[in-house]
């Protein structure tokens, strides 16, 4: 599969028009998606959480994501979908992060003093939740409400897990 075709498929997933089943089964591609997400998110972590060790945070996020996904798929009896689903989650995260990175670096940290930053962050968060819910709905073969709850657990659970383990 060409890079352009792969990008188009990931963009289709990010725009809720395709699903993880539209990606090839490739452990190498999954690894590349994880590496891309890590590389894109590194500057954000360095800028907005300078007290944190970015590589540790990224490692914890990857471990949490893979464990969450593996457990969810195993519980639903869809373990064979792991590689494509992980590729979809990390690949779309890389795309969303590519959009978020310049927004966050230009607008600044989303906080009370920066309403534009807070609105931009909220919009990106809603988009991310919608994409993760879309991917989980297809991968887990569940309804919209279940996939929304799972996506919220996945996204907010990752943040809580990193804070719990790293103390940041």
Encoded tokens for 50: 């300078």
Cβ-count burial of 26 within 10 angstroms (0-12 exposed, 13-18 middle, 19+ buried)?
middle
What is the model's pLDDT at position 104?
76
- Per residue in 65-109, pLDDT (tens digit) is 999 999 999 999 999 999 999 999 999 999 999 998 887 777 766
Low-confidence winner among 36-50, 60-74, 76-90, 152-166 (lowest mean pLDDT): 36-50
- This prediction has a pTM of 0.92
What is the model's pLDDT at position 112?
54
CA angle (125 as vertex; 129, 152 as ends), nearest 5 = 40
Q: Which phi and psi angles does 142 have, rounded to 5°? A: -125, 170
Q: What is the mean pLDDT of the chain?
A: 91
Cβ(116)–Cβ(124) under 8 Å? no
Cβ(55)–Cβ(63) under 8 Å? no
């Amino acid at each position: 599969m060409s890079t352009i075709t792969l990008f188009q498929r990931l963009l289709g997933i990010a725009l809720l028009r395709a699903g993880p089943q539209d990606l090839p089964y490739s452990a190498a591609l999954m690894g590349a998606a994880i590496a891309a997400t890590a590389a894109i998110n590194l500057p954000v972590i360095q800028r907005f959480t300078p007290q944190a060790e970015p590589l540790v945070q990224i490692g914890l996020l990857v471990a949490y994501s893979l464990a969450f996904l593996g457990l969810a798929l195993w519980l639903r009896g869809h373990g064979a979908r792991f590689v494509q689903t992980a590729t979809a989650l990390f690949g779309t995260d890389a795309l969303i992060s590519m959009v978020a990175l310049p927004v966050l670096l230009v607008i600044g940290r989303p906080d009370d003093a920066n309403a534009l930053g807070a609105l931009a962050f909220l919009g990106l968060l809603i988009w991310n939740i919608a994409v993760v819910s879309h991917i989980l709905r297809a991968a887990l073969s569940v309804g919209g409400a279940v996939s929304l709850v799972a996506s919220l657990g996945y996204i907010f659970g990752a943040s809580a897990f990193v804070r719990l383990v790293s103390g940041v």
